[in-house]
Amino acid sequence: MAIVQQIIFIAALGVTAWLIFQRIGIIGKTIRLGKDEDRTDQPGRRLSIMMRVAFGQKKMFDRPLIGFLHFAVYAGFILINIEVLEIVLDGILGTHRIFAGPLGGFYRILIGFFELLALGVLVSCTIFLIRRSVLKVERFQPARHREMNGWPQLDGKLILVFEIVLMIAILTMNAADSALQNLGSAHYPPAGEFLVSQWLKPLVSGWSENALIAYERIAWWIHILGIFVFAVYLTYSKHLHIALAFPNTYFSRLEPKGEMKNMPEITQEVKIMLGLETQTGDAAVPERFGAKDVADLSWKNLMDAYSCTECGRCTTACPANITGKKLSPRKIMMDTRDRLEDVGRIMLANKGEFVNDNKSLLGDYIIEEEILACTTCNACVQECPVLINPLDIILQLRRHKVMDEAHAPGSWNMMFQNLDTNQAPWKFSPGDRFNWASALADSDAGNNSTQS
């Protein structure tokens, strides 16, 4: 029987590893579709940002209670999985609690610590599930935010239920294990009672040895297979941010948030127009102004899309969204990821090559009304807990709409014409503007003199 369990376990482990490897490969390929962008400067500063924001969850603590609960889930998820190493070795070798002997008394302390973390995850996930399902936190409700319809709404709840089941499995498994130790069952060497599960032993008191063994084995398999399924599911879910938050924060933008990234070709043209530079030869014209599809964005924009937690903090802070406009920065990121997923499926079906499907990010996923509503206030960028920049994608899509397709609101076109002819948004010649400024200065001087 033990040999059969080992074979099943090794097969499950191999399938899980293969599925994750395949998924990571396609995610990597779709991210690399983006344009090159150098984010390797100031490595010390980048490392500091990553440790504070990704590891330390700094921005989550802007809301202390939620930050604490999220950190409990995050820390529990990371540290409890150290125990998975023991379970994996037990599954491969056919042993039971392989570290109990070598670690001695410290093993009981270590498992007790893991159980305390598991309890923290259990409580936190239960509270989060209540907030989503009973209290109905506004930013998660599809009635107000259409991007949360269907799968995104279910995904958030499903993963919470999944983690609750995993934590219950590990705690009750340990309780049954402890009861079997007390019975002197041959396969369960003494490891002592553990910090949390000892209080659950009354639930299994009076059970026969066979019933305890059956439940302990079932809980063991539920826990480890659950971990395997979760590991694969994570790569398809918004919870991919658990892994990508680290590189995403490391490669985040270091420039001030209000500093927009100009197009070099346009900057040069403006400087020539103002006489600050002299044109030498024909000006270089880019293949496309701005971005129409994901391949026109940078690899960092695409990593941002995969890193989105769908928390909605960006959208609740967006003044356009607050006033009823269709723009939702969260939807921009989710739409970009949906486009990447579709591109990835096409690449899988065509041996890693992308075949044109006559669709594009702008138009088929994100509509003009959304990007035109943006005020470029950077509220979404400020709010993001993993330093995603939805504004950069919005600006690039808007540039394409205006510069490549020459499609902009009439008021914008008037402003563009004034910029082209008068070097300012207003319909006054430069000389008239100086006269207006002088008259305004004289008027202010007269008012000050009268008041004196």
Q: Which residues contact 83 (CB under 8 A, 6 or more apart)?
A: 111, 114, 170
Do 103 and 218 fall within a single domain? yes
Instruction: Give the range of the structural domain holding residue 334, as residue numbers without chain letter.
Output: 291-406
Do 221 and 317 fall within a single domain? no
Rounded CA gap, 174 and 86, in Å?
14
Judge whether 324 lies within some domain.
yes
Q: Phi first, then psi: what are they for 29, rounded to 5°?
A: -65, -40
pLDDT at 440: 75
pLDDT at 444: 67
Listed residues 250, 275, 307: the one ending a domain: 250
Do 24 and 163 fall within a single domain? yes
Residue type (1 letter), 166: L
Judge whether 216 lies within some domain.
yes
Judge whether 77 lies within some domain.
yes
Do 402 and 413 fall within a single domain? no
Angle at 331 between CA 147 and CA 318, to 5 degrees: 110
Burial string for 188-215 (b: 16+ CB within 10 Å, else e) reads: beebebbbbbeebbeebeebeeeebbeb
Q: Is 44 exposed, middle or buried (0-12, 13-18, 19+ CB in 10 A)?
A: exposed
Tokens of 211: 């019933």
Nearest to 390 by CA among 322, 309, 288: 309
pLDDT at 101: 87
Do 335 and 418 fall within a single domain? no
Do 85 and 222 fall within a single domain? yes
Rounded CA gap, 245 and 50, in Å?
8
Tokens of 123: 């409580």
Do 139 and 212 fall within a single domain? yes
Do 154 and 303 fall within a single domain? no
Judge whether 55 lies within some domain.
no
Listed residues 250, 265, 283: the one ending a domain: 250
Rounded CA gap, 337 and 340, in Å?
5
pLDDT at 276: 78
Residue 228 · residue 16 · CB < 8 Å: yes
Judge whether 281 lies within some domain.
no
The CB density around residue 355, as the number of other CB atoms within 10 Å, is: 9
Judge whether 99 lies within some domain.
yes
pLDDT at 283: 61
Tokens of 275: 């006489």
pLDDT at 284: 64
What is the reported pTM? 0.87
Q: Which residues contact 119 (CB under 8 A, 6 or more apart)?
A: 167, 171, 196
Do 436 and 380 fall within a single domain? no
Do 430 and 393 fall within a single domain? no
pLDDT at 446: 63
* pLDDT tens string 308-345: 999 999 999 999 999 999 999 999 999 999 999 999 99
Rounded CA gap, 286 and 68, in Å?
48
Judge whether 266 lies within some domain.
no
Judge whether 58 lies within some domain.
no
Strand partners, 298: 35
Do 389 and 338 fall within a single domain? yes
Do 430 and 386 fall within a single domain? no
Taking 70 as the pLDDT cut, the residues of the chain under it are 1, 281-285, 433, 444-452
For the chain, the domain total comes to 3
Q: What is the CATH number of the domain that holds 399?
A: 1.10.1060
Listed residues 191, 223, 250: the one ending a domain: 250
